[in-house]
Structure 1
């Protein structure tokens, strides 16, 4: 059976054609400052003064500066004396002048002839073309970089900010980048939001962040609160005594009761409070409160400053995860319906955003005009197709046809029910959820489970208690219900609405310590129980216990000779500024011939290592082949890999390495199983990511779904592919809130489908397969945004970082640490809790 043919659809995108490229060459220079200037925006200001006020004749046309250490002159080398080196004094009101030194880089001029040839299809893209593309990116960023705060390829303004009243504020801005496409370069412009530290008095800031209402709470901080606050403030830049002071310092640590800290002045002992009173005539209001230390921890000469005399300077990015109670506010602030988003991108200054869109600046920019760079101000039209939606199969040969990306399981039977749940338990840790509400939940959940075809008894235990020591309570229940009858099938746990710590304890207990599946429910859901919610819970329970909720015919696989296995691979990394915590890698693999059921393996590796360590990857692949072979009686002969967690610059290097390791590991293990030499499997390696800013908008109202988005199943083809790459975008999910984000797929290696310029059908098969796999995510009755195997891999990594290290290691804490500390991989491996009884169960849901 083959799928129905796709239908054509033309949409608008937040992409803008670049019909002309520079005709002149660019010459590169190193830039240095004396004294060192640490703030990028200030460096931009100084270089602008150099070009417009100090040496306007030298810098005509204007040079392009990256805000760090690179500058490009346009059209000609700068006539610098001293063998390509020159220094310039920049006036600095009230302070020592700043000296800017330019040094010519002997790499030759950057021109655009090769790039133009590649865009015309007359040459292949290569690494040498990164330099001209980088120059184009710098030209785009020059104007906004001088008036906004820059972060990578995005820039932000505090106008229209949202203050979360907890020391964190959200700013809006724009993202813009330039990339190749068939025939011309294109500029991607999108709305962006990010978080900043709220500027102002540091003491008041900390009170808001900690949720304190009485200043005395800042005196006797508990150890956990002190650690939380120190993590929040680490490396934050502050001004002392005067919020407008140009003398900026960074916070390195905290000192309890800082005003009482004693030190020597001219050989005489004094305290911090007395020093500021005597020398600065500053009488402290809170001398016993925690203070900041401007020196590294364990420094022999700490510098302690009272918080009430410190001011957080504006424009500092908050790079840690948002507190859970702020997530909804962030989502609401960032969410824009498609029509709103399109209007903001085209104009910027609306009720949503109070800064001008870069699209309006393209014709007026001196930098772009001088460079001969012309950019369209009209959104690019993209021709694509809407793929046929696969039918969803349930038990008793029933099928469902999804509508707008979703479907209902009412009246359906599970494709494969899990083994009977004869023994299970319920624990209510939320004292506000009444006994009758729990009983109503259990009655509705039991009805939904049995209606779907699951077999289960009434719960053997129903305990209602407070949330103190959840692990001990769960141990007592599991041990008491044992009595030689075998362990519990699962435990249903009701938690308070905000209970991240107890939930982590429950999941660690179930996954790592006891090997008993747990299903956690939030109290608000229990108190407003309904049939739809209980059906969703039932689907999760069935998958966690080894069942299969539904089936989807993946027609692109029906023509493959020999059994196939689908892998999803992801690597998650520690947060920004964290140097001494590992990355976590996960490999998820299908175990059945239809690629509907999945298991996962996890490993620990050095921080920010994007490619999985060879020994660990071989081990995980070997285990996957063993399980597949035992279940199907034969090893896989075709391997399809969906890989997330790779940065764009690492695509080819990581793919080649992992492709080779997986190929060798599968062939070796299959040969051992069959006891004869086996040919290497055919393989396809696909990178999939959502970390991009491309968006699609219906070109006509009739083409939109109810949310105003393009319909699920919309995919692009050759019209939006980088020359030389087999790539596409797929918007596989129906719109719910805001503007849907498509996923980006790059087929880096392919031996199965025949992708290539001479066989467009090969890419269409990959598109259809990917869309089908977006419908098999076990805990949803909607198509999801990326194929289920790689979605599972992402969930497995998140679960490991949150639950699988001992709580006292504070692994999920996003605070910074010592960059000079030696990373000990073996120590982290020894502390990592492996999942017990993981086979045949989707523990990662």
Structure 2
């Protein structure tokens, strides 16, 4: 699509763009069902819910809670205590109604309260740590002498305001089940979910969205570093084709490991002695965590650390001098506790400050234990993640047992609100009908057929379909424990057996030992100076041996230097004692794809027989957004889109990546008009590449696979992102806009599939498009991959738009086929390859920015805003590698 075509935009095109601007798209309805494949009997972790009273109406009331000093109370824990006390005290005024309270500002009843507005005064026994355990005048947590003990149990007064807000008829759920649009259906389901959450809150569980966790030690998995994985349960009501169901699943969250604070700090910093602790780091880690004092059982929130250790940290305290007079003296924390017969074993440690910013309250660290069930929201290390995955695995039968036991033991039917609504929940998993689609045939070297077996294949005695030849290359070594000669020899031998002709490396470049103490960027620069000195010209490929961990600090600067500045394809490896033929085969799959080769191909692709895609030029897009670590609102998000190239192939892709405002999910740079009228967006880049590699053909069909969006964002994908794509297309020339098909892929859901007559995971190729799917919208579950360990999680695909007009069978077979074209592996993957590639591209490019400093540019609005302009731009890829599959 040359620039001459790009300049051919006329007024008609602009008017069409303006017209499309006002188009409001909605998610399509299901056109039919798939029929191909071998039938299979399945069960799902959905429990059927019977609604015998659809005439019930939920009344929603707004709740405001103020303390006696007229301050708004917004803590969830205290809110539930106040509302519970209000129900006990004013039950008759409220006509004995049962409440569902969300812990914040909404309260629901079945049927109305006697009046629309109430104001109640509620008195709670004082439980706030701020007024507990202080010395009379200042701030050391004492042991409860009579004066303070009396003070700590003074009643506290709250004013609760209740006002009518809305009516939510339960009939809306029945209408939604019949496929009718109902504004209140989601609201009614939310009320039912709140009833479940309220039950768990009363049992002292930690609530995280729609999951709940108890402090039973049997549910904890130590992840090291003072962090534990806590296994709990997810529960949510869903409208399905088979009726209302309760979706129950095992869920995991991260919590701070309960126990002594000193032990937490030692494990968190991985040191053995308290003398080695980094206290500034400890202060940052401890802030806002809650602790319980061992000497008086009171809970406190940490706001900081004392400047001095207990033995030297003083505070003013009033001391009686005779009968009436008193004087203020400075006393150390250690002396104070000694006077109360609490003797500190480690007075040389600082104190926790559990007071207010201008009124410190000191608690010796050795007298403090971490409160259980405190969420840990910081990013996990790669080792912690690996441990969590390994320890969280459950075989299908174990998961079934845990889930069904939970439904039986929780006795949801006994809840008075559910009883009033006539809600009964089945105790057995729902049976569903599935189909197993046949795996697509692959073609490898010498046009030899390769038939996957249970989602797997291999290259034993086979060659790659389109192997490259590598002549000018070198090995660079950042690792002190590496035999480069052996790596070179084994790689060359393995390559030849797979059809890749690899000449001997031009050079083996070791890092200078003194350079290892330098900063990562300096180490990379020095290594390149050595590479230039050892090579007569730029290499076509560099193999980089990293020290120890792949996610080490060198990785980002090394990739940036190669892909942005030098235009050199590079493959990183880590020394391992498992560097066998299988290891090098996996490495070579990546190298071959990066250098433009192809490892395998679909037989249908090879024979130009892919339905619909083969008839008209079709661009396949995979779209994903990668966000910074939790809590880091200063790190830009990375939007990545990959586009297919060399039509009619569906195995080759190119990536385009941009930064955008932190935590923004919608991609705002698909179409990016500049002041001169040109477009610098992602889609233009991919359209040009498609045109140049597809016999100068413009795509007349675009299939979009979008990852990482929730159901509440479907409309934005259809009306913001799709509009941008069409604008980018129209900006490049006249002609009708392409037909678009939009498919959302969701992995982050809680529906699982189990074989009804076997204990194994469901076979690869299993698809379900009835029973547990949406009653109206076009969605299906597919488990394309084999699950040898744990319980397989199917991908939930939602087809929002299908202007191309696929039959359900053709679309499902295309999705399955795209799970077999992933060039990095010899297995079917769980989600289509374009989405995996977009994820990889975003992750790799984000490493470019690892050492950059950012100001907080987040608008906090969750939508693209003016702040987008302040987001630092990502370095663009060098022209020599921009069209490669560098992300493989």
Q: Same fold (TM over 0.5)?
A: yes
Match of 1:451 in 2: 497
| Contact 1:569 1:643 (8 Å CA) reproduced | yes
Q: Deviations over 1:556-599 (max 9, x none)?
A: 54465421110001112233333333221111111121121111
Unaligned runs of 5+ in 2: 1-33, 128-152, 319-328, 673-678
Separation of aligned partners in 2, 1:166 and 1:541? 36
Match of 2:109 in 1: 73
> What SS does the corresponding residue of 2:524 show, helix, strand or coil?
helix
Question: Is 1:179 equivalent to 2:241 in the alignment?
Answer: no
> What SS does the corresponding residue of 1:720 show, helix, strand or coil?
coil
| Contact 1:237 1:313 (8 Å CA) reproduced | yes
1:779 Cα deviation after fit? 0.5
Question: Is 1:549 equivalent to 2:549 in the alignment?
Answer: no
> What SS does the corresponding residue of 1:500 show, helix, strand or coil?
coil
Match of residue 144, structure 1, among 192, 200, 215: 200
Question: Is 1:622 equivalent to 2:684 in the alignment?
Answer: yes
**Comparing 253-262 with 109-118, which one deviates more in the overlay?**
253-262
Q: Counterparts in 2 of 1:97-108, with a 5 A limit?
A: 97-99=156-158, 101-107=160-166
| Contact 1:153 1:177 (8 Å CA) reproduced | yes
Match of 1:642 in 2: 705
1:308 Cα deviation after fit? 4.2
Match of 1:88 in 2: 122
Q: Counterparts in 2 of 1:172-571, with a 5 A limit?
A: 172-218=231-277, 226-227=280-281, 229=282, 232-239=285-292, 244-246=297-299, 248-251=300-303, 275-277=332-334, 279-281=336-338, 307-308=365-366, 310-347=368-405, 356-357=406-407, 360-418=410-468, 420-433=469-482, 435=483, 438-465=484-511, 467-469=516-518, 470-483=523-536, 485-497=537-549, 500-524=552-576, 527-552=577-602, 553=604, 556-558=610-612, 561-571=615-625
Match of residue 50, structure 2, among 12, 16, 19: 19
Q: Deviations over 1:464-491 (max 9, x none)?
A: 45554441343133322343x2334222
Unaligned runs of 5+ in 1: 348-355, 672-676, 755-761
Match of residue 801, structure 2, among 749, 752, 755: 749
Q: Does the C-alpha gap of structure 1 residues 738 and 658 become closer, same or farther in structure 2, counting only changes over 3 Å?
A: same
1:55 Cα deviation after fit? 2.6
Q: Counterparts in 2 of 1:804-819, with a 5 A limit?
A: 804-807=848-851, 809=853
> What SS does the corresponding residue of 1:363 show, helix, strand or coil?
helix
Separation of aligned partners in 2, 1:739 and 1:240? 41
| Contact 2:66 2:158 (8 Å CA) reproduced | yes
Match of 1:127 in 2: 183
| Contact 2:121 2:158 (8 Å CA) reproduced | yes
| Contact 1:577 1:816 (8 Å CA) reproduced | no
**Comparing 196-205 with 779-788, which one deviates more in the overlay?**
196-205
Question: Is 1:797 equivalent to 2:814 in the alignment?
Answer: no
| Contact 2:48 2:425 (8 Å CA) reproduced | yes
| Contact 2:624 2:639 (8 Å CA) reproduced | yes
1:264 Cα deviation after fit? 8.7
Question: Is 1:784 equivalent to 2:815 in the alignment?
Answer: no
| Contact 1:775 1:783 (8 Å CA) reproduced | yes
Question: Is 1:30 equivalent to 2:62 in the alignment?
Answer: yes
Larger RCO of the pair (alpha carbons < 8 Å, separation 6+): 2
| Contact 1:33 1:98 (8 Å CA) reproduced | no
The structure with the largest alpha-carbon Rg is 2
Separation of aligned partners in 1, 2:799 and 2:171? 28
Separation of aligned partners in 1, 2:87 and 2:309? 46
Separation of aligned partners in 2, 1:201 and 1:37? 30
**Comparing 336-345 with 317-326, which one deviates more in the overlay?**
317-326
The root-mean-square deviation of aligned C-alpha atoms, in Å, is 3.4
Match of residue 722, structure 1, among 774, 779, 782: 774
Separation of aligned partners in 1, 2:455 and 2:121? 61
> What SS does the corresponding residue of 1:507 show, helix, strand or coil?
helix
1:726 Cα deviation after fit? 0.6
| Contact 1:273 1:287 (8 Å CA) reproduced | no
**Could you tell me the TM-score, scaled by structure 2's length?**
0.81
Q: Does the C-alpha gap of structure 1 residues 429 and 230 become closer, same or farther in structure 2, counting only changes over 3 Å?
A: farther
Question: Is 1:685 equivalent to 2:728 in the alignment?
Answer: no
> What SS does the corresponding residue of 1:213 show, helix, strand or coil?
coil
> What SS does the corresponding residue of 2:213 show, helix, strand or coil?
strand
Q: Does the C-alpha gap of structure 1 residues 206 and 387 become closer, same or farther in structure 2, counting only changes over 3 Å?
A: same
Q: Counterparts in 2 of 1:532-611, with a 5 A limit?
A: 532-552=582-602, 553=604, 556-558=610-612, 561-593=615-647, 594-611=649-666
1:647 Cα deviation after fit? 2.2
Separation of aligned partners in 2, 1:300 and 1:602? 47
Separation of aligned partners in 1, 2:375 and 2:301? 16
> What SS does the corresponding residue of 2:554 show, helix, strand or coil?
helix
Separation of aligned partners in 1, 2:310 and 2:612? 74
Q: Counterparts in 2 of 1:827-838, with a 5 A limit?
A: 827-830=870-873, 832-836=874-878, 837-838=880-881
Separation of aligned partners in 2, 1:110 and 1:791? 41
1:752 Cα deviation after fit? 0.9
| Contact 2:475 2:543 (8 Å CA) reproduced | yes
Q: Counterparts in 2 of 1:147-166, with a 5 A limit?
A: 147=203, 148-159=205-216, 160=218, 161-166=220-225
Separation of aligned partners in 2, 1:788 and 1:691? 17
| Contact 1:276 1:283 (8 Å CA) reproduced | no
Separation of aligned partners in 1, 2:646 and 2:404? 49
**Could you tell me the TM-score, scaled by structure 1's length?**
0.85
Alignment size in residue pairs: 785
**Comparing 594-603 with 124-133, which one deviates more in the overlay?**
124-133
> What SS does the corresponding residue of 1:106 show, helix, strand or coil?
strand
Separation of aligned partners in 1, 2:178 and 2:858? 49
Separation of aligned partners in 2, 1:308 and 1:206? 11
1:824 Cα deviation after fit? 5.8
Separation of aligned partners in 2, 1:578 and 1:197? 19
**Comparing 276-285 with 323-332, which one deviates more in the overlay?**
276-285
1:260 Cα deviation after fit? 10
Separation of aligned partners in 2, 1:155 and 1:497? 35
Separation of aligned partners in 1, 2:311 and 2:652? 62
Separation of aligned partners in 2, 1:101 and 1:599? 59
Separation of aligned partners in 1, 2:313 and 2:307? 12
1:513 Cα deviation after fit? 4.4
Separation of aligned partners in 2, 1:145 and 1:323? 30
Q: Does the C-alpha gap of structure 1 residues 262 and 505 become closer, same or farther in structure 2, counting only changes over 3 Å?
A: farther
Match of 1:842 in 2: 885
1:171 Cα deviation after fit? 1.4
**Comparing 509-518 with 330-339, which one deviates more in the overlay?**
509-518
Q: Does the C-alpha gap of structure 1 residues 472 and 559 become closer, same or farther in structure 2, counting only changes over 3 Å?
A: closer
Separation of aligned partners in 1, 2:312 and 2:725? 59
Q: Deviations over 1:494-514 (max 9, x none)?
A: 431576323344334333443
Q: Deviations over 1:191-214 (max 9, x none)?
A: 111110122332331111001111
Separation of aligned partners in 2, 1:164 and 1:215? 21
